[in-house]
Chain A
């Protein structure tokens, strides 16, 4: 193992304390209001320049990194759609060997991969699982716009139930084609990898600085770590770009997207409606703000609400938080 010290990052208290330096800059052509781009910009701001980044195929590759221009001030390399985990392992292993053998200076270098929900949550999940079993210092960020956005909005294993995508259009016989419940990637990865000391879900803009501090925490804790971010996408979700930030917040407040971190096996909710006293907002209020749910009828909203309630009341985060049904039965 490298003898390089882990970076002890300072916690960011308030938006005015966010570093000013941009390491993901101009030169990209993501859509207006692209929350995934905010996610990119955020993680590298707080990680700093002693970082190497790999980015899987997807919007954050194609719309960001056009030949003869690059928004990345840090070293960056494209990686294949399903290779997020293995790209990080390869780089971390290479750097560790070179440091140990004295071929490069022994210092802490962050290795960060970002992959989309299709790349990381479906195709690349095997490689990410293996990466989280390793003892390398690496962080994988799965940015989740709930679609294969780059190939023009197809459903993935993380698309919200009922959503319209080009693979799941509403029809006269089947009003809903996306009948899969969102895959619980963070929970699945947290429960299955004892060597992984930090897993979190986050949203780039809500609550303020929460995401940035989660990135810092992951990098400070070291070892293989994983963050799942929730990234509204104006093109795929069909809403005016000005509402991106609010939509992230609504997704969390409706309870569709639980916000938590798991530090050494302990689950900490970083947004918990049960503690605000106000309760969760109705999922319908969130869904009706997006064109992709235009085709849903009252019965569908009711069904989704029932599923969300059940998730929070009965099973929360399977495998991570206690499965309450089972606990009750035992007691």
Chain B
């Protein structure tokens, strides 16, 4: 199942407004405009900040209408977003690295209150030392909190996932906050040509936000998040889980509808994308911009007759367990590329690898697993690095032992 990205419908159809050279941040800002967001709260931290720069300019120029609030900290920023969402306003925020962690308390309760604003995370390493480069531990920190979380790989996807994200998050069956992660610098600040949907098409795809019986308004006098002691926590956590389960179906439907409106841009099973995997024996899997060097490496290795492919994992929460198990158990060996680190974890590897290994455990045929810690703190992951990772993964298939399978790529030793 190799990916076939069909041509988007032509501009004459009225689906697209224009095409423009945008970086990831600017693309997200366009998505926020098209989603007709009502409340935006900003606080600076590189590299996500440029989303807010772009939004404030759009508002200043009258290109769209939203309350734009400069918060005094990420904690306030996220609380503003959460509370705006509670009165039925579509709300937007975001951050990077330590800023994301500073507001963590608010991020947690946004999920437990089952509110569906969208936050962008321009992934950044966690201080100290002060580092601006991409690392995924920031966004991953919400993985156990009841969030939707996905990674995009191009500015086009970034724009589109603002619309897709709100649609899924706000669905009555879901109502979970949406984390839209993109790699700092490599995506936040690299420019691509982006097709910008028309307002009418965006409207057709994304219904109005409606919290209905959960909205706070004098006409609907409810109490939200009363204190529960130990009596009901189990049931509420279970409800979060049920929502995440339902989200899997809603995600699929959202992509189908997206393809209906905008042309067939996304292929099944949507949670991830396969590249040259049809007859592959060895694949790498990763999130975000790892896709770029990995795909190029695949093409070069294919020219040499090697049966390799790449799986780009888009949705990390909810984790596409069944689909990914079916997919990965077809191969002899799977190399998981982690741009994060699970300190002191069972295998001393990455978070992604641990999730994938766990997902594969019930598979009838388990592939050999290799794990790569690479690109931490923004270090480049080159095509040569990717080729090396394919080599090691192919070797893994021939080994009997399952131990010692974590390799740090490009580490000064």
Q: Footprint of B on A, CB under 8 Å?
A: 49-52, 54, 61-62, 65-70, 72-80, 82-83, 85-91, 93-98, 100-101, 103-104, 109, 126-127, 129-130, 134
Contacts and interface: CB of A to CB of B under 8 A. Distances in A.
Interface in B67-108: 67, 69, 71-73, 75-77, 79-89, 91, 105-106
A75 B225 contact: no
Contacts, number: 157
A281 to B, nearest CB: 38
A54 B224 CA distance: 9
A104 B76 contact: no
Q: Which of A49, A69, A73, A94 has the most CB of B within 10 A?
A: A94
Interface stretch (B139-147, B165-173, B226-234, B259-267): B226-234
B372 to A, nearest CB: 38
20 contacts: A49-B218, A62-B227, A65-B223, A66-B226, A67-B226, A70-B223, A75-B217, A90-B39, A90-B83, A93-B67, A93-B69, A93-B89, A94-B85, A94-B86, A97-B65, A97-B89, A103-B208, A127-B76, A130-B72, A130-B76
B224 A98 contact: no
Given A90-B39, A127-B75, A80 B105 contact: yes
A86 B224 contact: no
Contacts of B217: 52, 75, 104, 109
Given A52-B217, A75-B218, A104-B217, A91 B227 contact: no
Given A83-B76, A130-B71, A130-B72, A98 B226 contact: no
B220 interface: yes
Contact of A86 (B65, B75, B208, B223): B75
B199 interface: no
B222 interface: yes
B109 interface: yes
B105 A86 contact: no
A90 B86 CA distance: 9
Contacts of B77: 86
Contacts of A100: 65
Q: Secondary structure at chain A's binding surface: helix, strand, loop or mixed?
A: mixed
Given A65-B223, A79-B79, 8 more contacts: A66-B228, A67-B228, A87-B79, A95-B87, A97-B67, A101-B65, A104-B217, A134-B69
Interface in B264-294: none
A236 to B, nearest CB: 19
Contacts of B67: 93-94, 96-97
A9 B271 CA distance: 55
B344 interface: no
B213 to A, nearest CB: 12
B83 A76 contact: no
Contacts of A70: 223, 226
Contacts of A65: 223, 226-227
Nearest to A85: B76
Nearest to A71: B223
A72 B227 contact: no
Contact of B216 (A88, A91, A101): A91
A89 B218 contact: no
A83 to B, nearest CB: 4
A86 B87 contact: no
Contact of A83 (B91, B106, B229): B106
Q: Which of A62, A66, A68, A95 has the most CB of B within 10 A?
A: A95
A86 B86 contact: no
B223 A82 contact: no
A135 to B, nearest CB: 10
A90 B225 contact: no
B17 interface: no
Q: Which of B69, B73, B88, B223 has the most CB of A within 10 A?
A: B223
Contacts of B222: 75-76
Contacts of B89: 93-95, 97-98
Given A93-B84, A97-B39, A126 B76 contact: yes
A115 B225 CA distance: 16
B401 to A, nearest CB: 48
Contact of A98 (B38, B73, B80): B38
Contact of A79 (B83, B220, B221): B83
A66 B232 CA distance: 11
The list of the 4 closest CB pairs from A to B, nearest first, reads: A90-B83, A94-B89, A94-B84, A86-B76
Nearest to A63: B227
B368 interface: no
Given A80-B109, A127-B73, A127-B76, A94 B218 contact: no
Contacts of A103: 38, 88, 208
Given A94-B84, A97-B66, A104-B217, A80 B79 contact: yes
A219 to B, nearest CB: 14
B227 A89 contact: no
Nearest to A51: B218
Nearest to A62: B227
Contacts of B231: 67
A274 B73 CA distance: 42
A49 B69 CA distance: 27
A77 B225 contact: yes
A36 B401 CA distance: 66
Contacts of A82: 75
Nearest to A127: B76
A78 B256 CA distance: 37
Contacts of B81: 90
A91 B83 contact: yes
B80 to A, nearest CB: 4
A69 B228 CA distance: 10
Contact of A77 (B36, B66, B80, B224): B224
Contact of B87 (A52, A73, A79, A134): A52
A75 B38 contact: no
A189 to B, nearest CB: 13
